[in-house]
């Protein structure tokens, strides 16, 4: 297939500007609903779109004169197309956005958010024995005489009878109960704190629960009912758990009424201690309801979506209401808004409705992509109208009718105004940060006199070495591109077969592993004149955290690989102390020195330099990424590799006693020598040996 070339002559017929195979494929398309995908000559996906009539929609790209617009620029790159026929417009829409999420096409509006949403999880309780079921729901495990009920006390060995409330992120299991999703981890933790204050549900791990012999601090401050030591009957705890679930589902008023009724019943029976406990619970719940302002709110599950477009960027602010409670909000910033605007406008030629605004297109793209993986609530409150076909597709996907309200009233209007305000603030913050970051990029390019036409394309890779006295040596590579750190492109390298603590050998190894294969491909492409598809690119700048020694090692590697030495720059201590990003404001002395591998004179960057801010940001990120990897590797060696049974003098019995006492190897590692020595069969000398082995 011949590669298509862009043309600036609008009068030329399509056959001269597009591959014949592409035009042949277009001519053979059916007049049915479906999804189409455009690819360039290298196989990269350019655009994914949907159509009610594939033949009519796709043909419009090649029969109309798009001039110098973004559509024309994209069409000039099309070398191949693929289509998929579906049964309806709704199916086409769902497939389109599945492909957008999977393929990340260059000319679509993309919402890249790979993190799953957090949930509040209540574990499923195990069935209670009949003897326990028959006890009164509010019966306490300690009798009035102070004697502990042996039947209830035995329950502490089985934490499954007392469900745990916890923070959870990941795939859900049907046997457990999940509430959410929540917009942030902070919102989940706030909900857990609420569960502790009002219903006193446990949050401890099962291993900790099973090995408690006395109540913990949470029990003392009335944030837990102490089921681990038998201070609450299983039935009473189950009642608290059910009340908590009903509260999270939005039945707060009914829960409060029942608590008040139970409180009065205990008071009538002169059971004042139980009545006082319920009184405190009612007071805590009343305080929560007052703080969260859920009075007279009929909506239980609603998402509020506000969109703001400015300066070529966009923000969609998502606020969540679950169980009648406002859980907070979360901003999303799509990419390719400008590139996609004209293309998505063109898609409206299939529809009889008027052309949709950029805000509408952005919101449609967000709703379609976001609710592919997140359950859609039955009600959406939106700042701009939503495509009816999109709502129909969501309804078919979820099995629940999804509606959208534009120009809402009363409480919904208050929520929408809050979301719109937050969208504006978040977008203003983003534009300010991007302007600052672009200024830093420009300052660095000018300081190093880099031959770069487009600042957006500046790519910097930075390397750092981290270890503890030679143990668990890790090298990190972080990437700065498009004016920001590209977390998805970060890499860690485990360094082996070197003398412990030899940072130069570690740097040599990581550079060879990073650029060795790429150098071979580039050398071969130079000989043949053809670059294989999918070949990566060398960065415009390679930063190494170190001075002349590290730069000399990097120079040796690049000379060996036949790469350009001018790419290598070392970040060296200046005359004063080393300046990190967090120290710039407070530093009074000192310069950063940039050392070059190709023999150029050093460049000195003062503390007020915007270029220094960017160098410090990239270097500090490389250091952070390296040290967290090193600590994780070290912890794995010490906690998993350093098994207790490998310590001389620790057999199966002593190991079992240690694990039972401290709840696991991590608990043993956190214990002091004196604590370890208190375990039966462990002498002071052996406790010292265990402590040394785990530290």
CATH superfamily of 14-103: GIY-YIG endonuclease (3.40.1440.10)
Q: Write the pLDDT tens digit of every residue in 489-517.
A: 999 888 888 887 888 999 999 999 999 98
Rounded to an integer, the average pLDDT of 50-71 is 80
Residues 6+ apart with CB under 8 A from 579: 587, 590, 592, 607, 612, 616
Residues 6+ apart with CB under 8 A from 343: 47, 49, 70, 71, 74, 107, 108
Residue 46 has pLDDT above 60, yes or no: yes
Structure tokens belonging to residue 504: 């130069």
- Cα 192 to Cα 39, 160, 360: the distances in Å are 48, 19, 36
Distance CA 580, CA 616 (A): 6
Shared fold status for 14-103 and 642-694: no
Confidence grade of residue 5 (pLDDT, cut at 50, 70, 90): very low
Q: Write the pLDDT tens digit of every residue in 232-246.
A: 888 888 888 888 888
Asked whether 102 and 112 are in contact (CB, 8 A), the reply is no
Furthest-apart CA atoms within the chain: distance in Å: 100
Residue 636 has pLDDT above 70, yes or no: no
Q: Write the pLDDT tens digit of every residue in 89-130.
A: 888 888 888 888 888 888 888 886 656 678 888 888 877 666
Domain 642-694 top-level CATH class: mainly alpha
Q: Write the pLDDT tens digit of every residue in 138-178.
A: 343 443 334 444 444 444 447 888 889 988 887 777 788 88
Rounded to an integer, the average pLDDT of 520-529 is 81
Residue 583 has pLDDT above 90, yes or no: no
Distance CA 422, CA 187 (A): 17
Residue 307 has pLDDT above 90, yes or no: yes
Asked whether 212 and 228 are in contact (CB, 8 A), the reply is yes
Q: Write the pLDDT tens digit of every residue in 244-275.
A: 888 887 776 677 777 777 778 777 778 777 77
pLDDT recorded at residue 145: 38
Distance CA 188, CA 184 (A): 7
Q: 268 versus 471: which is more confidently predicted? A: 268
Q: How many CA atoms lie within 13 A of 196 on its CB side?
A: 20
Domain covering 302-428, topology: Nucleotidyltransferase; domain 5 (3.30.420)
Strand 471-481 and strand 484-485: the pairing is: antiparallel
Rounded to an integer, the average pLDDT of 390-415 is 86
Confidence grade of residue 589 (pLDDT, cut at 50, 70, 90): very low
Residue of 460, 467, 521, 476 whose CA lies nearest to 498: 467
pLDDT recorded at residue 37: 92
Strand partners, 169: 118
Rounded to an integer, the average pLDDT of 565-575 is 79
Distance CA 363, CA 532 (A): 38
Residue 285 has pLDDT above 70, yes or no: no
Confidence grade of residue 399 (pLDDT, cut at 50, 70, 90): confident
Residue 1 has pLDDT above 50, yes or no: no
Residues in the chain: 695
Q: What is the mean pLDDT of the chain?
A: 78
pLDDT recorded at residue 511: 93
pLDDT recorded at residue 36: 93
Q: 291 versus 395: which is more confidently predicted? A: 395
| Total-model pTM | 0.63
Q: 602 versus 2: which is more confidently predicted? A: 602
Residue 7 has pLDDT above 50, yes or no: no
Distance CA 617, CA 609 (A): 12
The region, left, alpha or beta by phi > 0 then psi within -120 to 50, assigned to residue 210 is alpha
First to last CA, the chain: 63
- DSSP secondary structure of 323-337: TTEEEEEEEE--B-H
pLDDT recorded at residue 557: 92
Least-confidence region, from 112-116, 204-208, 461-465, 672-676: 112-116
pLDDT recorded at residue 556: 92
Confidence grade of residue 63 (pLDDT, cut at 50, 70, 90): confident
Rounded to an integer, the average pLDDT of 455-464 is 90
Confidence grade of residue 318 (pLDDT, cut at 50, 70, 90): very high
Domain 455-636 top-level CATH class: alpha beta
Asked whether 70 and 339 are in contact (CB, 8 A), the reply is yes
Confidence grade of residue 462 (pLDDT, cut at 50, 70, 90): very high
Residue extents of the structural domains in the chain:
14-103, 118-249, 302-428, 455-636, 642-694
């Amino acid at each position: 297939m011949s590669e298509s070339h862009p043309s600036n002559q609008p009068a030329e017929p399509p056959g001269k500007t597009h591959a014949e195979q592409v035009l042949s494929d277009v001519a053979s398309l059916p007049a049915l609903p479906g999804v189409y995908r455009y690819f360039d000559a290298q196989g990269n996906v350019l655009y994914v779109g949907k159509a009610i009539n594939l033949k009519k929609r796709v043909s419009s790209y090649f029969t109309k004169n798009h001039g110098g617009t973004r559509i024309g620029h994209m069409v000039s790159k099309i070398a191949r197309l693929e289509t998929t026929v579906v049964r309806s417009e709704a199916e086409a829409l769902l497939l389109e956005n599945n492909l957008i999420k999977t393929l990340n096409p260059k000319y679509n509006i993309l919402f890249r958010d790979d993190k799953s949403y957090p949930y509040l999880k209540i574990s499923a309780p195990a069935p209670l024995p009949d003897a326990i079921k028959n006890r009164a729901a509010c019966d306490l495990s300690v009798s009035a005489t102070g004697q502990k009920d042996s039947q209830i006390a035995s329950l502490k060995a089985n934490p499954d009878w007392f469900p745990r409330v916890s923070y959870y992120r990941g795939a859900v299991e049907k046997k457990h109960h999940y509430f959410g999703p929540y917009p942030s981890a902070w919102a989940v933790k706030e909900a857990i704190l609420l569960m502790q204050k009002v219903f006193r549900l446990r949050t401890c791990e099962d291993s900790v629960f099973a090995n408690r012999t006395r109540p913990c601090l949470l029990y003392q401050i009335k944030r837990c009912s102490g089921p681990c030591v038998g201070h609450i009957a299983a039935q009473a705890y189950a009642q608290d758990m059910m009340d908590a679930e009903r509260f999270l589902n939005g039945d707060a008023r009914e829960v409060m009424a029942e608590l008040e009724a139970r409180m009065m019943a205990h008071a009538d029976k002169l059971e004042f201690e139980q009545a006082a406990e319920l009184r405190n619970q009612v007071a805590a719940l009343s305080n929560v309801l007052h703080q969260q302002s859920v009075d007279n709110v009929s909506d239980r599950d609603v998402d509020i979506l506000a969109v703001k477009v400015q300066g070529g960027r966009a923000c969609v602010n998502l606020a969540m209401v679950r169980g009648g409670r406002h859980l907070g909000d979360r901003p999303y910033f799509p990419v390719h808004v400008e590139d996609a605007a004209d293309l998505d406008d063109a898609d409206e030629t299939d529809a009889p409705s008027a052309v949709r605004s950029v805000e509408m297109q952005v919101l449609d793209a967000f709703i379609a992509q976001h609710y592919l993986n997140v359950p859609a609530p039955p009600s959406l409150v939106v700042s701009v109208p939503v495509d009816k076909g999109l709502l129909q597709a969501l309804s078919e996907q979820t099995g629940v009718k999804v509606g959208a309200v534009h120009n809402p009233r009363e409480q919904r209007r208050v929520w929408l105004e809050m979301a719109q305000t937050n969208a504006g603030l978040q977008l203003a913050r983003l534009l300010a940060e991007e302007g600052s970051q672009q200024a830093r990029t420009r300052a660095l390019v000018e300081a190093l006199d880099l031959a770069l036409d487009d600042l957006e394309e500046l790519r910097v890779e930075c390397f750092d070495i981290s270890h503890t006295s030679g143990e668990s040596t890790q090298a990190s590579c972080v990437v700065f591109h498009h004016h920001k750190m590209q977390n998805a492109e970060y890499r860690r390298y485990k360094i082996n077969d070197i003398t412990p603590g030899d940072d130069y050998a570690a740097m040599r190894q990581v550079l060879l592993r990073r650029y060795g294969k790429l150098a071979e491909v580039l050398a071969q492409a130079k000989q043949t004149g053809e670059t294989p598809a999918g070949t990566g690119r060398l960065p415009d700048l390679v930063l190494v955290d170190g001075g002349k020694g590290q730069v000399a090692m990097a120079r040796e590697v690049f000379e060996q690989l036949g790469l350009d030495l001018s790419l290598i720059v070392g970040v060296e201590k200046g005359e004063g102390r080393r300046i990190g990003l967090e120290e710039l404001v407070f530093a009074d002395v000192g310069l950063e020195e940039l050392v070059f591998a190709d023999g150029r004179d050093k460049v000195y960057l003062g503390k007020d330099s915007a270029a220094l801010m960017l160098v410090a940001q990239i270097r500090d990120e490389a250091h952070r990424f390296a040290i967290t990897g090193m600590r994780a590797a070290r912890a794995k060696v010490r906690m998993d590799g350093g098994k207790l049974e490998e310590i001389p003098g620790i057999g199966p019995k002593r190991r079992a006693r240690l694990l039972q006492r401290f709840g696991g190897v991590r608990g043993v590692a956190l214990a002091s020598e004196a604590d370890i020595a208190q375990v039966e069969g462990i002498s002071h000398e052996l406790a010292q040996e265990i402590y040394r082995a785990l530290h």
